[in-house]
Structure 1
């Protein structure tokens, strides 16, 4: 479902001056980012491959008084992303914030490439790496010369530790952050990334074995549990005017786990 499939009156009713696009917006960090940006007054466009989940996420934000539209799309599909970004831009005459959050993760992809196999590795990189490229390229013309335009890519502490296909894909995201900061800076677009460490979401608490949680937490320099809000606050900072002189950087939100790597 694209924006033009939404009733026009819905778009008009949710219109504000700022448009923020969040990929992987149906759940987890993506939904939390969308909710926080809507709370800041933005019209939020959530993109996800799961139609029912992304529509529910958008409906939840609207029920809380925010402005949100749910859109179905695969971030690795450059044609689809170009169309969606153009339609998102039409809501308010441009795109102000892009959060490249969509990604494949979990224990399934946290394996050596030789163990994961080429087909799964290829799909991992299509979503985690090509998806960032496709969405950034598609959003670029709609963000150029917008006051305060900002892109935030979601990397991972795994990028700095090495050893897995997933971590390597996120290392590429950190590299793309520098590349796009250089390419888009002339158009007034800042590009940064966040590398979350072990964040105790409901999924992590339920699915990650206790011994793994204990091992990772022992790598931290401070003995507290990372929370979803820690990553959300980092995103809000990087997309705000307080970070107007920051671009090409990856902010590690890890409790010190990635220090020195």
Structure 2
């Protein structure tokens, strides 16, 4: 993906969790192009460092910190390190999450260990990171938190859908709780997107069913669709928007 360099986030410090690949890498790339100093938090430290190195070109600043977002102490330490070395936090994108078809199985089928794993990362990870950055954002006069939800939180049962429903709820809760500190909190809910992990995990007939039978817009969703929506919600153009979840899903599902 290529992004036009508009320095709307110059002098901003941004954290992207799970930024070593997929949507997270796209968010980090777009933020770098917009002038932000970006830190990738990822439990795969080697991949995070490689991703950060690939983005640190032409004056862009991107670094990496190895961190499991489900580990509260690790998150607190990582954020404290970022604040100490860079001076604060202005943007947090809670992108890290477990995504696999098996996490959408019925609760009577999936193991309790898998249920705990997806809730620890997809839900507690959002809580850990959001709470950890609040005071640092408040000291800088406010900030933006963007959460990665999913249309699974509207339509798909099982632990994964539950976790993304919880992300929608957390978005509203944190928007209310953090508003006195001038911190906006929103979410993006991707539909079926052509990422490597999704395409590897889903059978082709299911992909075709989504595009041809469920979506109103009959094309494959692309990672750039999500990145563009996220960058809007992180920008001053969305300065009067908080507590919202924006579905980017080709028109599925529709609600009145």
Is the TM-score greater than 0.5? yes
Cα deviation per residue 1:121-142 (whole Å; 9 max; x = unaligned)? 0111000000100001111111
2: distance between equivalents of 1:118 and 1:79?
Answer: 24
Residue 239 of structure 1, aligned match among 231, 234, 238: 234
1:69 match: secondary structure: strand
Matched, 1:81 2:71: no
Matched, 1:221 2:216: yes
Where does structure 2 lack aligned partners over 5 or more consecutive residues? 1-9
* Alignment correspondent of 2:4: none
* Alignment correspondent of 2:3: none
Residue 168 of structure 1, aligned match among 162, 166, 170: 162
RMSD after superposition: 1.5
Where does structure 1 lack aligned partners over 5 or more consecutive residues? 1-15
Residue 255 of structure 1, aligned match among 246, 250, 256: 250
Aligned length: 246
Task: Detail structure 1 runs of 4+ shifted over 4 Å in the superposition.
Answer: none
TM-score, normalised relative to structure 2: 0.92
Matched, 1:210 2:182: no
2: distance between equivalents of 1:252 and 1:208?
Answer: 20
Cα deviation per residue 1:77-136 (whole Å; 9 max; x = unaligned)? 111111111121234421000000000012121212221121110111000000100001
2: distance between equivalents of 1:253 and 1:146?
Answer: 30
CA 1:64–1:160 in 2, change beyond 3 Å: closer, same or farther? farther
Q: Is the 8 A contact 1:178 1:191 kept in 2?
A: yes
**Distance apart, 1:17 and its partner CA:** 1.9
2: distance between equivalents of 1:221 and 1:146?
Answer: 42
Residue 111 of structure 1, aligned match among 82, 87, 105: 105
**Distance apart, 1:147 and its partner CA:** 4.6
Q: Is the 8 A contact 1:24 1:46 kept in 2?
A: yes
* Alignment correspondent of 2:195: 201
Matched, 1:98 2:92: yes
* Alignment correspondent of 2:48: 54
1: distance between equivalents of 2:43 and 2:182?
Answer: 30
Matched, 1:186 2:190: no
2: distance between equivalents of 1:120 and 1:80?
Answer: 21
2: distance between equivalents of 1:229 and 1:210?
Answer: 21
2: distance between equivalents of 1:189 and 1:202?
Answer: 33
1: distance between equivalents of 2:197 and 2:163?
Answer: 21
Residue range with higher mean Cα deviation, 171-180 or 155-164: 155-164
1:115 match: secondary structure: coil
